Every structure is written in structure tokens, then in C-alpha cells.
Amino acid sequence: MNRKIGFIGCGNMGQAMIQGMIDAGVVKAEDISATALSDETIDFVSDEYGIEVSADNKGVARESDLLFLAVKPYIYRGVIQEIKSEVSDDTVVITIAAGITLDAIKESFGKSVKVIRSMPNTPSLVGAGMSALCPNDFVTEEELSDVLELFKSFGEAEVIEERLMDAVPAVSGSSPAFVYMFIEAMADTAVQQGFPRDKAYKMVSQTVMGAAKMVLETGRHPAELKDAVCTPGGTTIEGVTTLEQSGMRSSVIQAMNACTNLSKKLSKGE
């Protein structure tokens, strides 16, 4: 890819994205630049990934074809005020924060800009992320294709309508926490039943990963795969019945709706 990539901010998520891009070979380290607030982060990221890192937000914005705003949502407006005069009409700005709408970005810049709203998740840190992307009308198909290629270097990515972005935290952004809770509960039970904790976490985590892979690679409905494990009168259906009695599905649905409702409030600035 013959484009200059810039990151305003390079915390854990930014670093995961940078590492994925370099490891996949979709972009060279010398074509990536980033900014950070502390000298410690500047030195670490520069040494770790071999990219140019500074505190010069304006310089990175000026030189980037694809510019990632990898900062906390509450400082977006301030950062955009700082760099907006340096962002050219051809630069594609990619946001990675919840609740920052395409209209809000346009308003902050005070002009029409090419923007792709995105939301990656923390499994991007191990190359297994799930990202959602939503471009505005000024982004070309070629530009969107290039950005998708970058996101797919550290996981999977889907283009969705902006009206669905408020649901992304529940679907893929926050939901890893729910899965971690499920893994922890299963592992704790295994420890209660005599397993060493390291083996419990390994066996449970591999099982969760394998079950997810079955859904993705077979294309079969999760209910069908569940039924295939449930021998009549066996241990699995006994456990499934207990989960149903405990309201597992209802709890998951309520948790996801709570995430989405809060995300909608944040998008409205409430």
C-alpha cells in the first residue's frame, strides 16, 4: 500500500493496530508515523515498532494520507481544533472511539472531510480483532478498500450503516468482557472440582475459541451445533437446562441492550 499512515495517539489499541499492519506487510514501518504525550511512550513505540514518533500532532496530520485519531473520546474536539488546518481535502480521517458520529467530526472540523468511523476491539491486540467501519459519502471505494485492508491485518472487519454503530459496543466492543466473565466462571468451577488453575483457564479458553470457530467455519446455526452436543438424558442437556432456568439468555440480552442504550446516550451527548 503506497499511503502514509498517521496515528494521533498510540496507546494499547493504536499499538495493536500498528503491529498488525507491519506484521501483515500491508504497510512498511517507515510509512507510519505517530504521536504520544510522554517521552516514555514516544521512546518505547519508536524502539518497538521502528516508526517515527513525536509530540507533533500537526506534523503527523499534515503528512498523512490515512489519519487515525486514536485518542480518548473526551479530547477529540481539542485534537481536531489543533490539527484541522493541517488536514488536506484528500486525507481520510479514521476515528476509533465510541459515540463520535460522522456529523460530530464534520462539525468539529468546520468543513466537509473524508471520515471513516470505526470501532475495533481489544482482541486486536492478539490479531483476532473484530472491527466495524462506517464511511461518510466523501470516502471513495478505493480509500475504503485500503482502510479495510489495514483493519483486516489485525482481525476481521465489516462495513455497516452508521445507524448500527451504537450497537457495536454490545456486539463486539464490550462483549469480550462478557466472554471473559464466562471463561472465569467456568475456570473457577473447574478449580473447585480439582483442576489446577492454569490448566482450567487453558482448557476453558480453548473450548470457547473452538466453539466460536465451529460457528464461523461450518456456517451452521449455533442452536444446531448446541443440539449436536446434547445427548438425550446426558450431561450436556442437564447443564443447558440449568442455564435456561438461571436466565442466561435473558441476562445476556439485558447486558447487550444496556450497552447499546448507553452508547446511544453518548452519541447524543447526554
Rounded to 5 degrees, what are φ and ψ at 190? -60, -40
Q: Residues marked as binding?
A: 8-13, 57, 70-73
3-state secondary structure of 62: helix
94, 116 Cβ separation under 8 angstroms:
yes
- The SS3 call for residue 39 is helix
Locus of grid cell 498488525: 20
Query: What are the residues whose beta carbons fall under 8 Å from the beta carbon of 39, sequence distance 6 or more?
Result: none
Specify binding-site residues for NADPH. Answer: 57
Report the binding-site residues for NADP(+). 8-13, 70-73
Segments in 91-196 forming alpha helices (H): 102-109, 141-151, 168, 175-192
Whose CA is closest to 174, among 102, 263, 73? 263
